[in-house]
Amino acid sequence: MSAAVAEADVLPVSIIDAFSDRNLMGASFGGDTREAWRAILSGAFAVPMAGKRLALFKRLAGGRKPPSQRVRELWAIAGRRSDKSHTAGGIAVYLATIGAEQEGIVSRLSAGERGVILCLAVDRPQARVVLGYVRGLLADSPVLSGMVHRETAEGIELSNSVVIEVATNSHRSVRGRTLLAAILDEAAFFRSAESATPDVETYRALVPSLATTGGMLIGISSPYAKRGLLYDRYREHYAKDGDVLVVQGATLDFNPTLPRRIIDEADAADPAAARAEWHGEFRDDVETFVTRDTIDAVTRPSPMTLPFDRQHKYFAFVDPAGGGADEFCLAIGHEQGDDIIVDVLLARRGTPAEIVAEYAGVLREYCVSDATADRYAGSWPADEFARHGIRIATADKAKSDLYRDALSTLNSGRCELPPDDRLVAQFMCLERRTSRGGKDSIDHAPGGHDDRSNVVAGLIAHKQKRRRKAGVI
């Protein structure tokens, strides 16, 4: 440990001191444009403040009093380009170095034990951004750079037995560590293929680990829809005294140097989106498409796939993918009275031609020679399936319309879905958005996927269309 950091036991160095001192992190955070973050961090870490800084804090915190001691949780809701990830990296560096020393955390670690400051990001590219800030802040600090023991692909090990780790959001990744603090970067946009509520599950996994060390949980994010962890913490704690501090501000509060014309142009182009992206307000135009209770009610407990039964006549829908992150999906179903049963749901990544050959074999097993495909797939699926004797017709509606047409069947319980966790998660993450013209659109959230839910909705919607043509419904 460096002498300057050791001296913190005698002369406490607050996070505001660290963010202002050029020998620590002041080269990055010392400018006048950082005053909003200094006000917020003063409140979160119980650093005394007065005058304009106190007034700024109260405005961003909804008028509540500054905490009298360091808070248990800090939630900072800010517009885009508000220096969020950079600030998250700075907080991590402070807590891992000066903060860990001053609070005596290091002395409480067992021999060989390492305390972890965990930074969770939305995805790998964003995780690399946060890690880059951490590395840069340590390298640029004349004092703190001497504490770097070893750098790894996931983080930095310090000489005081503390590790700064940066990872993607996963409730599984947070277990089994001695967590000294956790920082959630862009928590409103956490996504998972296996869960409809990955932000909430991650939070629930973090709280017990932090409770054993008295560690701090920090969430820094732009807002999005009025749901999820960030909105829940805002609704429960904004403008209220206590050990959970929630602050909210627009981009210009945090970054007054940003040209105003950028925000004005965004306001004119899409006011609803601009309110969230630049003004730090939760969106009013985004709603959940379908409830969890609705999906659970129509999901069979088992099996995943129902075997072929010659007494049924089967039909199919295909959602092709040309590779990349999207899945190539197939759904096969049959009618049972008034209900639509989804017997088969397949989802693959790989070479499209090989997947077509596999799916054609499955279709033949269920005596299906005609299927419908998502309209955005183009003509190649029909050409490729034709090589295997399967005729493909293109859907006459966009997927948003297919979702809308399938909703009545889902809500009425007149269907049965396979117990596929990713299917459930995708249905739960679908969003209904109302455009400026009043038309609804249904799609996955930013960064999400809906290949499985799309193919199931397409299957249901097209069977409904055939029923209407036949005068059955």
What separation in angstroms does the CA of 151 have from each of 164, 166, 253? 10, 12, 35
By CB neighbour count within 10 A (0-12 exposed, 13-18 middle, 19+ buried), where does 391 fall?
exposed
Residue 253 DSSP symbol: H
pLDDT score recorded for residue 4: 47
What one-character-per-residue DSSP string does 134-194 give? HHHHHHH-TTGGGGEEEE-SSEEEETTSEEEEEEE--TTTTTTSEEEEEEEETGGG---SS
CA distance 342 to 315: 10
Distance CA 343, CA 76 (A): 46
Domains of the chain by residue range: 3-284, 292-469
In 10 A of CB 270, how many CB atoms?
A: 14
Strands of 197-338, DSSP E: 216-221, 244-249, 286-288, 314-319, 328-336
Residue 143's pLDDT is what?
94
Please tell us whether the domain made up of 292-469 is placed in CATH 3.40.50.1010: no
What sign does the CA torsion over 443, 444, 447, 452 have? Answer: negative
What is the per-residue pLDDT for 32? Answer: 78
User: What pLDDT does 196 receive?
Assistant: 67
CATH topology agreement for domains 3-284 and 292-469: no
For residue 157, the model assigns a pLDDT of 95
* Tokens at 466, concatenated: 């055939």
Q: Is 169 helix (H, G, I), strand (E, B) or coil?
A: coil
Extended beta strands in 364-419, E state:
370-373, 391-394, 415-416
Residue 345: phi and psi, rounded to 5, are -135, 115
List the chain pLDDT tens, one digit each, 473 residues: 444 455 444 468 999 999 999 999 988 887 778 999 999 999 999 999 999 999 999 999 999 999 999 999 999 999 999 999 999 999 999 999 999 888 777 767 766 678 899 999 988 889 999 999 999 999 999 999 999 999 998 899 999 999 999 988 776 666 667 889 999 999 999 876 566 678 898 999 999 889 888 899 999 999 998 888 999 999 999 999 999 999 999 999 999 999 999 999 999 998 888 999 999 999 888 888 998 899 999 999 999 999 999 999 999 999 998 666 789 999 999 999 999 999 999 999 999 999 999 999 999 999 999 999 987 666 788 899 999 999 999 998 888 999 999 999 999 999 999 999 999 989 988 988 876 666 778 988 877 889 999 999 999 998 876 666 555 55
Helix (H) or strand (E) holding 256: none
> What pLDDT is recorded for position 191?
74
Q: Which residue shows structure tokens 């709603």? A: 287
Angle between helices 399-412 and 451-469 (to 10 degrees): 80
CA pair distance 96, 79, nearest whole angstrom: 27
Place domain 3-284 in its CATH homologous superfamily. Answer: P-loop containing nucleotide triphosphate hydrolases (3.40.50.300)
